Structures are given as C-alpha cells and as structure tokens.
Structure 1
Amino acid sequence: MAAPQVPVRPLNVMVVEFLPSGGMFQFSFQFAQALAQAGHRVQLLTGPEPELTPTAPNLEVVPMFPTWHPNVGLGGSLVRRKARRIWRALLLVESWRRVLHHLRRTRPDVVQFGELRYPLDSASLLVVARLGRAGTVVDVAHNPLPYDVTGRTQAVEKTGRLTRALLARAYRACDLVLVLGEGPRTELQAAFPDVRRVTVCGHGDYSAVLDAHELPAPADVPPHLLFFGAWTKYKNIPLMLDAFARVRAEMPQARLTLAGPVMPDVDELDIVRQAEGIGGVDLRPGYVAMEDLPDLFGSHRAVVFTYATVNISGSVHMAYTFGRPVVATDVGSMRDAVEEEVTGLLAAPESGPIAEALLRVLRDPGLADRMGRAASRRVHDNSTWSGVVERAVTGYLDALQGH
C-alpha cells in the first residue's frame, strides 16, 4: 500500500545564518528569497546590518543575533586574537539560545541551518533538534567536513576527534541534509554513513542579487586573470602564483588580480613577496562589496582557481553568472562545476599544466568567448534558484512525511 502523500502547501520555513554578510549569507539569502517566491513563508534570521535587502513579499530578514561581519578585524596580536575568539564564542552561544527560544515560540515547519563551522555549532544543533519543536530540522552541508581556515597546520579539513564526533551526531540529528552536488553527497555518506536523509539541491547563480550590467565579452578585455574568494590555504595561492610566473615569462602583458579577504591560515606577507617577485599581480586583500563585482569580473578574461581540494565553489558559479570561463585544478568535485573544454579548462594541480591552460585562454580570445557563453547558459539552464528550491522542498516534504 502506497504511503500517504504530504500535500503540497505553503510551508513556514526558518533559515538561520549567523553571519550577516559574505558568501554563506549570500547563499542563504538567495535560498530564502527563492523559497518565498515559490509561495512559502520564510524568515531569515541573521546578525546586525544584513548585507542584502529582501524583495519577495513572503520573506522577512530578522537581524536578531549579536554576531559580527566575517573577515573584519582578523589581525592583531596573539593575545588579542585569542580574546576575540573567546568573545565571539560567547556571542555564538547567545545566538544559538535565541534560535532555540524563537523556534519554541514559532514552531515552523522547517528550520534550516548552514555550515556547522565549529564544534559549538554541532553541539548546539543537537540541543535545538531535540528541544526546538520544529517540524523538520535541515542542514546545508556546504563542506561535509568543514575547512580549517584559522589553523597554521597543513591540514585542509578539520579532522579532530571532537569535531568529527559532534558532526556525526549533528548530521544524525537532522531530518534532512542538503548538499550542493554529487561529490559532496559521496563524501558526506562515506564519512557519516548514519545520515538519515540526503538530497542534492544544487547551487544557484548570483543574478538575483546583482543589478543587470552590460559586461564586455571575455575577448573584449585585456589578457587579465582573476582569482576571487578568501585567501586561505586550501585555495593554494602559492601554486597559482608559480603558474602565473610561467605565464608572464611567455606573455609579459598578462596580469593577475587576487581579490578577497585574507584568512588567518595564510601569511599575507609571503603572498606579497611572491607577487612582487613575479610582477603583473594586482593584490586586493579585503572584502569585495556586491556592487563592485560586475566591474571586477567584467574587466578580466577568465577566472582561475588552483584549489588543493573542493566540494563546491560559489565563486565558480559567480564567474559563470558574469559569463567568464574558469581555469581550475582537477581536484575534489571541481568536475561537478567545470565542464572540461565547455565552460572552462581543468589542469593537474601543478604549475606547468595550469600555466598551459591559462595561456590557451589568454592567447585564444575566441575560445574564451565560447566558454564564457557556455558558462552563462549553464547557469541559466542548470543553476537556477527555482530548481534548487524545488529539489529542497521535495526533501522537506519527504522528511515531514517521515515524521
């Protein structure tokens, strides 16, 4: 006998993103806005002065947490950094307390969390899942094993026993875990086989939060390359600079721009010294405002990523939104995002092959244009937020029916 179907109806959904700006907030905001546009009633709970303002009538952005904007004030002495970490941990505890209180008062059909960055997040989710009175508890596992962007070790992922044990329990406590691609799903289920329900929702584009701009085609701009995103060890910036040094030796007019916030796990001075020794490198450390992105991407022919590993990259989807081809290392799940010879080029994670791929794009403007157009089509056809929401809501209803 077939199981009864949960009727398709407007859901009350609470989306929680503690940090009010940056890539994770932008993802959560666009997800929440697409849910609202699909007819669901959505609250996005976040920190002070959110970066984006909703336009969907069913979406309310509530700045209710005493959190901070990411990538702000990361420097200082060792004592100051430790004090800041303790203070922010206390603010995070208070934010989780407010989540629990709000859940018990409102009792939404779905509460959806984002990246479980710290053991504190995993432990708090366990409490919320047990006591929060939501219909179903969902986590979006951007990286099934969170990346370590604060430590100075060579490890890319957080693999401590406490982190692993709490993550395992947190994922088990969720009624549904959403992942952004088949690669992350495989990694999640291999590392945490007890997860109850996993759905691939995919990653949307960035056109919904960016004004329409008439951007030049890749062939119409100089042979300039862009790296966009946080400067952190798993992005392997030294390898990128080594490859670009080879490019400059054959094409002196080439330039490379590195734009994004600097994480504590990299030495900015080392990057500056290496870039100065090569020449033609424009360093733009710091957060890039949303309104500056069209000009930034539009003034470069291609976008380069020399990751040591990757699950899914929002920056790749951003490059596609602006019609830019991608040159990336063939690691992790990068093939889920970059279609070889169609939307970009993949290379072995060595300076020689990367340089060869970069030179192909820079020397052949027609190739850059063809791949840029294909990248735009891929976003339009396969990376819409309406598609993300459709797959997620199917998962929500399955989880609610499971209850």
Structure 2
Amino acid sequence: MAVDSSPLAPIAVPITPPATLDLSLDSPAAEPRLKIVLVEFLPSGGMFQFTFLFGEALARQGHEVLLLTGPDPELRSNTPGFEVVELFPTWHPNVDPGGSALRRKARRLGRAALLVESWRRAIAFFRRVHPDLAQFGELRYPLDSAMLLLLARRSPETGLVDVAHNPLPYDVNGRATAVEKTGRLTRSLLAAAYRACDLILVLGEGPRTSLLTAFPRLGRVAVCGHGDYSAVLATEQAPPPSSAPANALFFGAWTKYKNLPLLLDSFELVRLQLPQARLTIAGPVMPDVDLESITRRAEQIGNVDLRPGYVPMDEVAALFAAHRTVVFTYTTVNISGSVHMAYTFGRPVVATDVGSMRDAVADHVTGRLAAADPAAVAAAMVEVLGDPAAADRMGAQAQQHARSSASWASVVDKAVPAYRAAVAAVRR
C-alpha cells in the first residue's frame, strides 16, 4: 500500500480506555485476572498473527486483553475479553508497490515517520491507561529500543514485557552477508531496552541461550513457546500428506537467512530421483533477496512454481493441502512460525539442522533434520516425498504436537506465572 509521507498531525488519544479493559481494582484473590495490553504496530503477517493468537488465548483464560495495532487488521476478535484496537497509522508489511530506488527510499522515510507517530500514540495511551502489563513484539529498529526506554520512564507503574522472537533482530533489508543486525547503536540500545523490561519472553531454550549469551546481565527471562494456527485456519478437514502428490512447499518470507539458493540446489538433486516432484516457493519477497536470480535458477531446474507475494489467510489451507511436505533450508533460526503452521495442517517438515530448529522439529518424528548442504537436504526430501506412509506418520505426529505441546493454552500456562512475578516486582 502507498504511504503518505507528508507531516503528521498529532491526534488526541482517548482519555477513556476502550470498554474491554476494566481498570477497576480487583478484590483480593489468590489469582486475580491480569489487565494486559499487547502492542503490534503492523496489522498483518506472522508477528501480528502470533500476537493475536496469544491475546485470544489469554482472554480465554479469563484475562482482559487489548491488542493495539494499525489499520484494517488481518484478524478481528470475537472472543470475550479480547479487543483489537486500530490505534496506529502503520502499514501492511507484505504489501509493497515497488517502484524506483528513489521511490523506495522515500517510502522508507515515510514509514519511519509513521513509526515515530505510532510510538507517540502508544506512549500517550499508556500514560492514560495503566494496565498490569504492556507487551511488545520484536524490537526491530533502534527507534523501537529508544522508545521502549522512554515508555519505561514515563509509565513505571506498568510492567513491560518484550517477546524476543529474535534476540538480535534479523536484517532483511540490506544486501550485507550478516543475518543479524550488529551495529553498535542497535546493540547498545537493544541491551538497554532489554534491561528496562520487567520480563522477556522467548520461544524456546535455544533462543533463551542466544539471548543470555548476547546480553548476559538481564533480569527475568522465561520460555513461553509458540502456538499453532488452528484457531484462525480451517484445519479440521486437512487431508493427510499422502493425498497430495510428491510436492514440496516453502512457505514464508523470502529473505537471505532462509537460504533459497540451497533449497533450489537441493531440489535439483531431488528431481534426479523423483522426476515428477514439484516445489512451490510462496511468500513475500524481502529487499535482501534477488528475485531475478531466484527466477532464473527455478527455470533452469524445472517443476518449480514461484508464488512471490503475501498469501492471504483464506488461501493458506488449500496451499498446504496440495503439498506433501514443507521445507525450510534456513542458515540460522530461532523459532519459525511457519513450522508450527505446517504442523497445524499435519504436514511433516524437512529442515536444516541449524540454530534452534531442534526445538521445533523432532527428527524422524515430526519431520527430518538435515545438514545444510544440498545432498543431505535432498536425501531428506526424497525420504518424505517418496514414502507417503512415512509422510502420513510424521504428519500425524506433527499435528498432535501442535494440538498439545504447541497449543496456545500451553503458551499461556508458561507465560502467566512469569507475568505475575513481573507484576509483583513492579508493585514492590
């Protein structure tokens, strides 16, 4: 969507909070319900979906939850106690009108101005509304870290929580070889912002280790995990993997750390053993990926269907149903929401054994882990694509994992005790 980068007029943030958030004091009780405001500036995509599903699960357990986001959010709530509020003048992250380099630069500047205004509105909101907790997602930019520090000073009575999806944010905009943002300003502000938080949530033991290795003097850190997508996607009638032909799917943003060249090299070897196999690569293209190069390589290999662009949620079920396995040839990873989406649809995963992928994929149980080289990935893909019974067995276990260990109820069960400890510390 096009973004107007003209100067922004200040808006008045309502003094009266939305009706969902009852700010009256709870009567003394062993386990009072919490008042939680979630903030996700961008109103669609994986981070928004994560935050929305987290909020729904919290509300189902009796807590009062608001989600502050941008215009026309991808998901809307019908869950009592959970309200989505369109407060920010932000944009949909996976809608990029393209244009010249100068036009793209102007759009980035315009979006930076919108993000500044969004933080201004968030800080004004929390100065008027005093929930128990304010929870933010990934601190992508130095601006986010600086503004969180300002919020910590302005609203000391509210506990601050950050969900560190990637303890060091990934750089998906530049063409540098480094995956993580490593600039001195980024790192110093991020360290200060993490220290200002009353609680940091991470999605697995691997990310927890990464966080504490990079920032060793942090306070309260808790593992909450990642939930499945059954609450917002029609999965009840998901066919078994064997019902699909020998098709493999890559699903998610096309960015350098997801290593699409390795995926294509691997699939070229797969076709030597399974000539009928097909590969679909679906998702939005990030600026750090050379789409023309990917397109040329796909044409050389054959049987590769490229689907650049955001996949609307009402098309996701059919896309997964048409594929027997989902493949992730990442260079590094903390926790991938796309893995949990594959599990939601009962699809086994083939993934490179890097980063924290072992936190999500049980080898020979919910999928296959392989070394990050074409021959190893190809062998794992052939094993799943060429054996429908094995694909069904691993897919069923993947779906069971999503419904039990990776349910949103289990995420909330882990998060709430940490929330209560953070609130108690703030009130001391």
TM-score range, shorter chain: over 0.9
Quick one: distance in 2 between partners of 1:260 and 1:132?
Answer: 38
Q: Give the 5 Å matches for 1:146-161.
A: 146-161=169-184
The range that moved more, 20-29 or 66-75, is: 66-75
Q: Give the 5 Å matches for 1:104-143.
A: 104-143=127-166
1:204 matches 2:212:
no
Quick one: distance in 1 between partners of 2:54 and 2:174?
Answer: 30
TM-score (norm 2): 0.92
Quick one: distance in 2 between partners of 1:193 and 1:207?
Answer: 36
TM-score (norm 1): 0.97
Name which of 37, 42, 46 aligns with 2:60. Answer: 37
Quick one: distance in 2 between partners of 1:211 and 1:329?
Answer: 28
Quick one: distance in 2 between partners of 1:109 and 1:377?
Answer: 34
SS of the equivalent of 1:90 reads helix
- Retained in 2: the 8 A contact 1:226–1:257? yes
1:314 to partner: Cα distance: 0.3
The range that moved more, 79-88 or 208-217, is: 208-217
Task: Quote the residue 1:353 is aligned against.
Answer: 376
Q: Would you say how many aligned residue pairs link Structure 1 and Structure 2?
A: 399
Task: Quote the residue 2:286 is aligned against.
Answer: 263
- Retained in 2: the 8 A contact 1:216–1:298? yes
Q: Give the 5 Å matches for 1:71-220.
A: 71-73=94-96, 75-220=98-243
Structure whose residues are more often helix by fraction: 1
Task: Quote the residue 2:413 is aligned against.
Answer: 390
SS of the equivalent of 2:55 reads helix
Quick one: distance in 1 between partners of 2:389 and 2:233?
Answer: 27
Unaligned runs of 5+ in 2: 1-27
Shift of the 292–78 alpha-carbon distance from structure 1 to 2, 3 Å rule, reads same
SS of the equivalent of 2:74 reads coil
Quick one: distance in 2 between partners of 1:368 and 1:41?
Answer: 41
Percent identity for Structure 1 against Structure 2: 64
1:241 matches 2:264:
yes
SS of the equivalent of 1:178 reads strand
- Retained in 2: the 8 A contact 1:230–1:260? yes
Stretches of 4+ aligned residues off by more than 6 angstroms: none
Task: Quote the residue 1:223 is aligned against.
Answer: 246
Task: Quote the residue 1:69 is aligned against.
Answer: 92
Task: Quote the residue 1:298 is aligned against.
Answer: 321
Supply the AA of the counterpart residue of 1:278: I
Task: Quote the residue 2:339 is aligned against.
Answer: 316
1:212 to partner: Cα distance: 4.1
Q: Deviations over 1:362-389 (max 9, x none)?
A: 1111110100001011111201111111
Name which of 374, 389, 401 aligns with 1:378. Answer: 401
Unaligned runs of 5+ in 1: none
- Cα root mean square deviation, aligned: 1.1
1:134 to partner: Cα distance: 4.3
1:250 to partner: Cα distance: 1.7
1:7 to partner: Cα distance: 3.4
Q: Deviations over 1:20-79 (max 9, x none)?
A: 000000000000111111111111000000000102110111001000000212622221
1:188 to partner: Cα distance: 0.3
Supply the AA of the counterpart residue of 1:89: A
1:84 to partner: Cα distance: 1.0
Supply the AA of the counterpart residue of 2:300: G
SS of the equivalent of 2:332 reads coil
Quick one: distance in 2 between partners of 1:318 and 1:39?
Answer: 26
Quick one: distance in 2 between partners of 1:209 and 1:115?
Answer: 22
Quick one: distance in 2 between partners of 1:354 and 1:6?
Answer: 54
Supply the AA of the counterpart residue of 1:202: G
Quick one: distance in 2 between partners of 1:156 and 1:337?
Answer: 20
1:215 to partner: Cα distance: 2.0
Quick one: distance in 1 between partners of 2:158 and 2:147?
Answer: 18
- Retained in 1: the 8 A contact 2:350–2:369? yes
1:132 to partner: Cα distance: 2.4
Quick one: distance in 2 between partners of 1:213 and 1:230?
Answer: 26
- Retained in 2: the 8 A contact 1:225–1:255? yes
1:8 matches 2:8:
no
Quick one: distance in 2 between partners of 1:89 and 1:6?
Answer: 44
Quick one: distance in 1 between partners of 2:247 and 2:162?
Answer: 38
Q: Deviations over 1:305-360 (max 9, x none)?
A: 00000000000000000000000000000000000000000100000000011111
Quick one: distance in 1 between partners of 2:410 and 2:378?
Answer: 36
- Retained in 2: the 8 A contact 1:110–1:135? yes
- Retained in 2: the 8 A contact 1:156–1:234? yes
Task: Quote the residue 2:312 is aligned against.
Answer: 289
SS of the equivalent of 2:404 reads helix
SS of the equivalent of 2:68 reads strand
Task: Quote the residue 1:26 is aligned against.
Answer: 49
- Retained in 1: the 8 A contact 2:235–2:344? no
SS of the equivalent of 2:118 reads helix
Quick one: distance in 1 between partners of 2:162 and 2:99?
Answer: 33
SS of the equivalent of 1:13 reads strand
